Amino acid sequence: MTRVNVNLCYFCYASFNLLIMKNFRRFAAGLAFIVFLSPSLQAQIYINDGFAHTYSIVARDAMTGEMAVGVQSHWFSVGTIVSWGKSGVGVVATQSFVNPAYGPDGLKLMEEGNDAASVLQLLVDDDEGRDVRQVAMLDVNGKVSAYTGSLCIESAHHIVGENFSVQANMMLNDKVVPAMAKAFEENEKLPLADRVLKVMQAAQAEGGDIRGKQSAALIVVHGEKVKESWADKLIDLRVDDHAEPLIELERLLNVHKAYEHMNRGDIAIELNDMPLALEEYGAAEELFPDNLEMKYWKAVALANNDRLEEALPIFKEVFKVDKNWLELTKRLPKSGLLNVSKKEMKRIVE
């Protein structure tokens, strides 16, 4: 990364404190321009791949081994640079003046057998921009480590506990991080994703980011390594730009749960376990009652299992809202997805 003169650093930092509340983005752009014009000068402030002044949590479920990162910020698409994770390895949150390399490099070193504390120390020691970084790492064994640089913008600090670390910078007050730690410890009976969401909600309730809200993200990975790369993340949700990102993230998490029930229902159908299938489809509908997709495939499953009388009113309800589902139904027999007689098919489409 490009460096700047030490004297210039002090000037920039003093100016930064003066201007941050007036126009942070304009100042940051100006700083980058100064750095660009002075490639031979030395300092501690660097051009970064992104700003993510934010609050976040890295956490592990001691029962399941699952690991997670949750983050919220007043910055666009915060999940693209802050949250990193790999099943059977660990998770990383890298923020403040972000050095995204902490994510992939940290995961690589942990996968090689190094614990979170030694990996974080190694990467921080090697980073000349360490004073403006904030990073937390957690490995598959539950070892946790966090670092907050001395030039991170107040209020900035972290708390490391058993199987978690919560960290924040540019917060409205010093109550945010303690509230996050308290929320994690008080919600130990919840599934990990819900527990992490509670932590972020607690942060926001105490004031959160001094600039407000814009984006949020939540990832959850397995405690064990997986063979297929596409199956690495159990949950991978992002809200890139929203007036209420945590409310939207909670909605998306419920939608995710609903579709998980749908998937389990489909598997139950394959195993010819109709009672379990209907139980799973019912759970999905309860979480996402207005979704036509869920109602429709439940009706298809019923029709395919000689329960047409139960399926007909569901088909009727779906077709009334959107006739495209009726057209889709006519196409299903050819693909083998709807196995009914011609007479039964006539009853469905009429």
The contacts of residue 53 (CB under 8 Å, 6+ apart) are: 73, 74, 75, 95, 96, 153, 169, 170, 209, 211
Q: Provide CATH code, domain 51-243.
A: 3.60.20.10
DSSP 96: E
Domain 258-349: give its CATH architecture. Alpha Horseshoe (1.25)
Element (H, E) at 186: helix 176-186
* Separation between Cα atoms, residue 187 and residue 193, nearest integer Å: 11
pLDDT at 51: 66
The contacts of residue 311 (CB under 8 Å, 6+ apart) are: 299, 300, 302, 303, 348
Model confidence at 36: pLDDT above 90: no
Q: Residue 48 — very low, low, confident or very high, per pLDDT cuts 50/70/90?
A: low
DSSP 209: B
Summarize pLDDT for 99-120 with one digit per residue, the tens.
Answer: 999 999 999 999 999 999 999 9
Model confidence at 30: pLDDT above 80: no
Q: How many residues does the chain have?
A: 350
Amino acid at 318: V
Show the CA angle centred on residue 340, arms to residues 290 and 349, nearest 5°. 55
pLDDT at 15: 41
Ranges of each domain in the chain: 1-47, 51-243, 258-349
* Separation between Cα atoms, residue 162 and residue 319, nearest integer Å: 52
Q: Residue 53 — very low, low, confident or very high, per pLDDT cuts 50/70/90?
A: confident
Task: Look over the chain and give the mean of its residue pLDDT values, rounded to a whole number.
Answer: 87
Q: How many CB atoms lie within 10 A of CB 285?
A: 17
Of 58, 57, 174, nearest to 107 by C-alpha is: 58
pLDDT at 155: 95
Q: What percent of the chain has pLDDT over 70?
A: 85
- Strand ranges inside the chain, DSSP E: 51-52, 54-60, 67-73, 83-86, 90-97, 133-139, 144-148, 157-161, 164-168, 215-221, 233-239
Average the pLDDT over 149-175 and give the result: 96
Lookup result for tokens 């002090």: 10
Rounded to 5 degrees, what are φ and ψ at 121? Answer: -60, -45
CB distance 203 to 180 below 8 Å: yes
Model confidence at 134: pLDDT above 90: yes
* Inter-helix orientation angle 245-270/292-304, to 10°: 10
Summarize pLDDT for 171-226 with one digit per residue, the tens.
Answer: 999 999 999 999 999 999 999 999 999 999 999 999 999 999 999 999 999 999 99
Summarize pLDDT for 298-326 with one digit per residue, the tens.
Answer: 999 999 989 999 999 999 999 999 999 99
pLDDT at 120: 98
Show the CA angle centred on residue 263, arms to residues 259 and 264, nearest 5°. 115
Q: 58-62, 239-243, 262-266: which range is least confident on average?
A: 262-266
CB distance 219 to 233 below 8 Å: yes
Model confidence at 21: pLDDT above 70: no
Q: Residue 274 — very low, low, confident or very high, per pLDDT cuts 50/70/90?
A: confident
Element (H, E) at 345: helix 342-349
CB distance 43 to 6 below 8 Å: yes
* Separation between Cα atoms, residue 237 and residue 235, nearest integer Å: 6
What pTM was estimated for this model as a whole?
0.82
pLDDT at 49: 56
